[in-house]
Amino acid sequence: MNDTANKTRFPVWVGPAIFLLTTLVVILLGLLAFSIMERRWETVRPAIAVTPIAEWEPDNAVWGQNYPRQYETYLRTREDTTRTKFGGSFPRDYLEDDPMQVILFAGYAFSKEYLQARGHYHSVEDVVNTKRVNPKTFSSCWTCKSTEVPKYMAEMGVAEFYATPFSNFVGKITHPIGCQDCHDPATMNLRITRPALREAFAAMGRDIDDATHQEMRSLVCAQCHVEYYFKNDSYVTLPWAKGLGVEQIIEYYDEIEFADWTHPISGTPMIKSQHPDYELYTMGIHSYRGISCADCHMPYRTEGGVKFTDHHVQSPLLNIANSCGVCHRWGEEEIRQRVESIQTKVWNAKLEAEKVIVRAHLDVAAAIQAGATDEDLSEARHLIRHAQFRWDFVSSHNGVGFHAPQECTRILGDAARKAQEARLIATRLLATKGISSEPRYPDISTRAKAVEVIQAFENKQPLNLL
């Protein structure tokens, strides 16, 4: 019996080993459980307000106390050196790069300064310093530049705010575009804070409050990234009553006989397109597939157990992996080449349309010098107005056609065709005056030379084109 018992007895170290192993397993399971709970806690924590946020709180840093990840990424919009082939966040000078635009915007503030916009962080600084603001500018031009605007609208009334001189708020409005523009501070739900968009939906017979959360991830952008005009000189209005297409919008403008300025070279009543990003987005494949502006320009990020929206609003080409790569499984370089190929085609079509429209303005000026009357030139001016608005509809929007490349190419082709028709009318008028040669087109190969040309016409001492 003793021999058998001795044979089955375990070594003395087995017991402590089992104890230690069990302890280790318990510790590891505890750490795993703690990690899981920590991740769950991280997902809950952002919804817990550490600092109460007032209804119209304009300071993004206050919001950042509760939502540090979003605020930290938002602060990256102050970067102003990033470049893509056609865009980026640096203040590219469109007039230096493309002197034809000096002629196209002759007589209007955009011929004096036209810079590529920097990030949202710089919105107040840039609007105060732009040369396009003058003593007659209304506060309408503050509408999309600051989180303080909704507060002043609530206190003063919308129309009263718009009609106040812009200069009254210089130094008083200091907080740039940010959290309060898009979020309800009590629930963090997306909301519309700019009345022009709500009014535009109502004009189309739609209730913007019926929009889904995914639609709102584009509509909060559409509060500003749209075509608009100033009704009665100051009231911000989106011309959507007939639809969002370029033909519907210019039909709307024609019916109310609206013009931003009269072109000093051709005498044409002109319309300046703003930045119809949302309108063109709705005509592209991404909108059709239900992809929002935020999906590409503010893609989701994950840190630990937290999934949040990256508030560094920028070109998707600067964040291909998180933006394009979510759906498109090609390599980053192939994606970049595909996008730039599309943009290059639209860019080239844009430049070709510009050349024809510039010539159309000068052809009409030559006809005026030859003695053509306003009645003679009525149809040519109508065609130039339509041609340039179509060109500008594509040129002024962000993305260089990528949001809806087929539609942009169609619009630019239509713009060039209308400008050519205007040139034909001017050529026939010149022929009736015994002039069969082309006008003497001035040299506009640089910005400085183009400025000299428009100054001559603006000063009522036009260049002799005959």
Give the pLDDT confidence of 207-257 residue by residue, as tens digits: 999 999 999 999 999 999 999 999 999 999 999 999 999 999 999 999 999
In this predicted structure, what is the pLDDT of residue 5?
47
Give yes or no for a contact between 144 and 224, defined as CB atoms under 8 angstroms apart.
Answer: yes
**Which residue has better confidence, 379 or 18?**
379
Look at the block and give the residue holding tokens 């010098």. 369
Cα separation, 53 vs 247, in Å, equals 44
Predicted confidence band of residue 36 (pLDDT cuts 50, 70, 90): low
Query: Over 90: is that where the pLDDT of 452 sits?
Result: yes
Cα separation, 227 vs 245, in Å, equals 11
Q: Dump pLDDT digits (tens) for 44-67.
A: 555 555 789 999 999 999 999 999
User: Which CA distances in Å does 448 have to 102, 264, 358, 444?
Assistant: 9, 18, 16, 8
Query: Over 50: is that where the pLDDT of 439 sits?
Result: yes
CB atoms within 10 A of CB 418: 24
Those residues whose C-beta lies under 8 Å from the C-beta of residue 319, and which sit 6 or more positions away, are 299, 310, 312
Q: Dump pLDDT digits (tens) for 404-417.
A: 999 999 999 999 99
In this predicted structure, what is the pLDDT of residue 1?
46
Q: Dump pLDDT digits (tens) for 97-131.
A: 999 999 999 999 999 999 999 999 999 999 999 99
User: What's the chain's average pLDDT?
Assistant: 93
Length of the chain: 466
Cα separation, 132 vs 112, in Å, equals 7
Those residues whose C-beta lies under 8 Å from the C-beta of residue 239, and which sit 6 or more positions away, are 227, 228, 229, 249, 252, 253
Least reliable range by pLDDT among 68-72, 240-244, 300-304:
300-304
**Which residue has better confidence, 27 or 183?**
183
Q: Which of 361, 398, 417 is nearest to 106 (CA)?
A: 361
Return the structure tokens found at 391: 């060109």
